[in-house]
Amino acid sequence: MSSILAYDLGAGSGRAVVGRLNGNRIETEELHRFANDPVQVGDRLHWDILRLYHELKQGLLKAKHQGIEVASMGIDSWAVDFGMIGANGELLGNPYHYRDRHTDGAMERLLAEVSPASIFDRTGIQFLPFNSIFQLYALKKARSPLLREAQRFLMIPDLLRYFMTGEMASEFTNATTTQLYNPIDKQWDSQLLKWIGVSESLFGPIVQPGVLAGELRPSLMEELGVPAIPVYAVAEHDTGSAVAAVPALHRSFAYLSCGTWSLMGTEVDRPVITEQARELNFTNEGGVNGTFRLLKNIMGLWVLSETRREWEREGRIYSFPELIALASQAPAFATYIDPDDDLFLPPGNMPERIRSFCERTGQKAPSEPGELVRCILESLALKYRYVLELTEQLSGQRFDGLHMVGGGVQNTLLCQWTANALGRPVWAGPAEASAIGNLAVQWIARGELADIWEARRVIQGSFPISVYEPQDVEQWENAYGEYLRKTGLSKA
C-alpha cells in the first residue's frame, strides 16, 4: 500500500493529508495542520506565501520522521489569487489577498470599457470583483511595478508547486477562475489580455488535472533529506478537488461545497455560455476529465466566521457549538439577509452589517448572538434553494437531492435546515472533500483507479455519509416566499 500526500490549502487553514488505497477503501491521515492567516501591511492585505511554503516543507518532514515513503503529492488551494515571477526566477512581492481593497471599483471601470457580454461570451465566468482579471486590471491602472518586472503569472498552487519543483505550468481548473481563459479555444484569451493591457507572455502552458508536473527540486531534497517525489497537477482549485470527491453514482447530480465560501452547482460536459447564465451570474469553472462546473458562488460561512471574529475582538468568546445551540433556541424566521450582498464581502464588523442590511430592507434588526446566527444560517439555507432552482433552469436537469461536502457538513443544523429549505434530502459528506479529491486525481493518474466514477464509488464506500430528510416543509415553504420578498431576490 503506497502513501500519497495531498496539500489542501483553505482561506483560513491548510493541511497535509496522507492517503492510502486499501483495496476498495480509502484511508486518510491528517499529518500536519496549520493556520493560514493573511497579513495586513499598511493599506494592503497579503497572503503569507513563504510561511505557507514553510508549512508544506513541514508536512514532508513529518512524513519522513514517521517513516512514510511518499509516492507522489499534489497541491490545491483557493482560486483567483496569484504571484508574479521575475526574470531571475524569484517571486516579486507577496501575493495580494482577494479581499484586499486595491480592486475597489476595478470591475465597474473595466465593464464601462468592455461590455459584460463580451467578457462572459469569451470565458463563461461569473463576475466577482476580486477575479484575477480585475486584480490585473487594477495593477495595470495603478502602474504597478509588479507588471513591469514580471515574467510569469502563477496562481497560488502553481506558485507553491514551482517553489517545490522549479517547473512552471498553469493548471486548468484554477486557470478558468481567472476570467481570462477561453473554454472554447482552450487557451488564455489574447483579446481579453489586450483589453486589460497585460502581456500574453506572462501566461504559460495550461495542464490538465492528473499531469505529472515535476518532482522535488534537488536543493529541496538536500535540505529536507527526502527523495525525488513526483508532483502532480491535481484539480488545483480546491472546489475542483471537492467536486471530484462528491460521492455521486449518477452523472446528473447537484453539489454544494460548503466552507468559507459556498459553491453550488452541477457538473456538465460543456460550458453553459448563454445570456441567461450571464444574467444570473453563473460560472463555468474547469473540472476533472475536461468537464466544467456550472455553479454559483455564495458568500457562505464567511459571514458567520467574521461575526464570531468581531465578538472575539469585543472579548466575547463563543465556540461554534455554543453558537449553533444559541441559534437553535432563537425565534425562527425572524430576519433574513442575502449573504451575497456586497455589504458582506470585506472583513469588518459583520454583526453591524447584518443589522444595517435588515434596517435597509425594513426588517427588525437582530441583536442577540443566537438571533444573528439563526439569521445567517436560515438565510444561507434559503439562498441554497434559490441557487439550486436556478441551476436546474440553466442545466435542464431536475435533482432528487443535494450532495453537500466540505467542512460545512459538520454544522448539522445548517445541513438539516438546508434539507428543510429544499424540501429534498441532503447527503452530507465527506467533510475533507478537497483533500480526498486531490488524492483521487493522483490515484487516477498513477493508474490505481480507473477514472473519476470509480473514484467516486470508492469514496462513497470509504467515508460516512449523513442523510438529512426534509422536516417542517410547509413552514419552510412559507419562509422561502418571505425570504425572497424581504431580500429583494423575488425581483431578480
Q: Count CB atoms within 10 A of the CB of residue 57.
A: 16
Distances (CA, A) of 79 to 9, 201, 239, 285: 10, 21, 9, 10
CA 334, CA 313: separation in Å to the nearest integer?
26
Helix axes 156-165, 49-65, angle to 10 degrees: 50
Strand order across the beta sheet in which 466-468 lies: 283-286, 292-298, 262-268, 254-258, 402-405, 426-428, 466-468
Type of residue found at 262: S
- Residue written as cell 415553504? 477
CA dist 286 and 178 (Å) reads: 11
For residue 492, give every residue at least 6 positions away whose Cβ sits within 8 Å of its Cβ, in sequence order, or none.
none
Closest CA to 285 of 300, 295, 299: 295
Task: Say if residues 162 and 146 touch (Cβ distance below 8 Å).
Answer: no
Could you give the CA distance from residue 119 to residue 151 in angstroms, rounded to a whole number?
Answer: 25
DSSP, res 91: B
Contact status, residue 75 vs residue 56, Cβ threshold 8 Å: yes
d(CA 421, CA 407): 20
CB 455 within 8 A of CB 25: no
Cell 435588515: give the residue.
358
Under a CB-based contact definition with an 8 Å cutoff, are residues 160 and 56 in contact?
yes
In whole angstroms, give the CA distance from residue 396 to residue 399. 10
User: Residue 184's CB: how many other CB atoms inside 10 A?
Assistant: 13
CB 305 within 8 A of CB 262: no
Which candidate, 402, 406, 397, places its Cα nearest to that of 417?
A: 402
**Helix (H) or strand (E) run with residue 407 in it:** none
Q: 238 an active-site residue? A: yes
> Residues 238, 338, 340, 341: which is the catalytic one?
238
Catalytic positions, please? 238
